[in-house]
């Protein structure tokens, strides 16, 4: 190939890009476009350790341990968090945390059994797990706008907001050291960050999905990895 000529793009790459774009337009990309090869995340306003772990598909306990955080609730805007063990992540010199994190790593946590799950709302299954070339990390449940969304298991609300754009108004609940659940496309949030909730408690009302139809986007993650909710929800 002569200097200055453009290298042709492989046809399979074009086809794959087209499929991904069509999937995004049809179903909505249910996670923000994230570079999973990056090793550092800079904390933005409104983010929590849990929402950052969710965005990058890592376990929140691992993220705290890799960054020497003794209190996972204490991070600050501008802080550089390493997203894998051994990656450099110096704190921003222009910002200081309200509480200095401990340099001592957190101990390894044992695997814990999943909680007893409940369906977060009633309605038809609109979208299965893993559809659209892996873009869907959860399931879509249809219903009526304003319909009640409830906690699928007891836990603590670790994120409630609209900072993860593709999810709309989002609630993330930490159930134990291994399991979290998320509830997206909400019309109204009924809980706040740090609040303890019981299984079946109303946490939000159903809003509109990417196609402007009422639906709930529901995810379960185990140690940061998306798992099929239908394998856990009662039949």
Residue 174 lies in a domain: yes
Domain count, the chain: 1
Residue 87 pLDDT class (50, 70, 90 cuts): low
Residue 108 pLDDT more than 60?
Answer: no
Nearest to 125 by CA among 231, 215, 228, 28: 215
pLDDT above 90 covers what percent of the chain? 42
List of residues 6+ apart from 63 with CB closer than 8 A? 49, 52, 53, 56, 69, 81, 83
Residue 21 lies in a domain: no
Residue 77 lies in a domain: no
Residue 190 pLDDT more than 70?
Answer: yes
| Euclidean distance between CA atoms 191 and 193, whole angstroms | 7
Burial (CB count <10 Å: 0-12, 13-18, 19+), residue 95: exposed
Nearest to 235 by CA among 125, 157, 160, 150: 125
Residue 98 lies in a domain: no
Residue 151 lies in a domain: yes
82-91, 177-186, 195-204: range with lowest mean pLDDT: 82-91
Residue 136 lies in a domain: yes
Residue 170 pLDDT class (50, 70, 90 cuts): very high
**Model pLDDT, residue 61:** 81
DSSP 48-107: -HHHHHHHHT--HHHHHHHTT-S-TT---TT-EEESSTT---PPPTT---SSPPPSSPPP
Residue 97 lies in a domain: no
Q: What mean pLDDT comes out for the span 12-28?
A: 38
Placement of tokens 């894998």 in the chain: 84
Residue 209 lies in a domain: yes
194: domain CATH number is 2.70.70.10
Q: What average pLDDT does the chain have? A: 78
How far apart, in Å, are the Cα atoms of 41 and each of 92, 127, 185? 12, 30, 25
Residue 222: give the domain boundaries.
Answer: 125-231
């Amino acid at each position: 190939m002569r200097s200055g000529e453009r290298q042709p793009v492989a046809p399979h790459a074009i086809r794959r890009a087209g499929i991904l774009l069509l999937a995004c337009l049809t179903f909505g990309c249910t996670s923000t476009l994230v570079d999973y090869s990056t090793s550092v995340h800079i904390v933005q306003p409104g983010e929590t350790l849990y929402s950052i772990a969710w965005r990058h598909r890592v376990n929140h306990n691992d993220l705290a341990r890799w960054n020497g955080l003794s209190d996972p609730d204490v991070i600050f805007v501008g802080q550089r968090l390493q997203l894998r063990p051994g990656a450099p992540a110096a704190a921003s010199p222009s910002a200081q945390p309200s509480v200095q994190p401990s340099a001592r790593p957190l101990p390894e946590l044992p695997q814990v059994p999943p909680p007893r799950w409940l369906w977060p709302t009633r309605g038809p299954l609109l979208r299965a797990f893993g559809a659209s070339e892996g873009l869907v990390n959860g399931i879509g449940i249809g219903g009526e706008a304003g319909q009640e969304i409830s906690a699928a298991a007891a836990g603590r609300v670790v994120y409630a907001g609209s900072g993860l754009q593709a999810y709309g108004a989002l609630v993330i609940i930490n159930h134990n050291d291994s399991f979290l659940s998320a509830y997206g496309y909400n019309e109204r949030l009924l809980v706040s960050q740090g609040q303890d909730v019981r299984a079946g408690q109303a946490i939000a009302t159903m809003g509109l999905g990417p196609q402007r139809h009422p639906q709930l986007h529901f995810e379960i993650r185990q140690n940061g990895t998306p798992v099929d909710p239908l394998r856990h929800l009662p039949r």
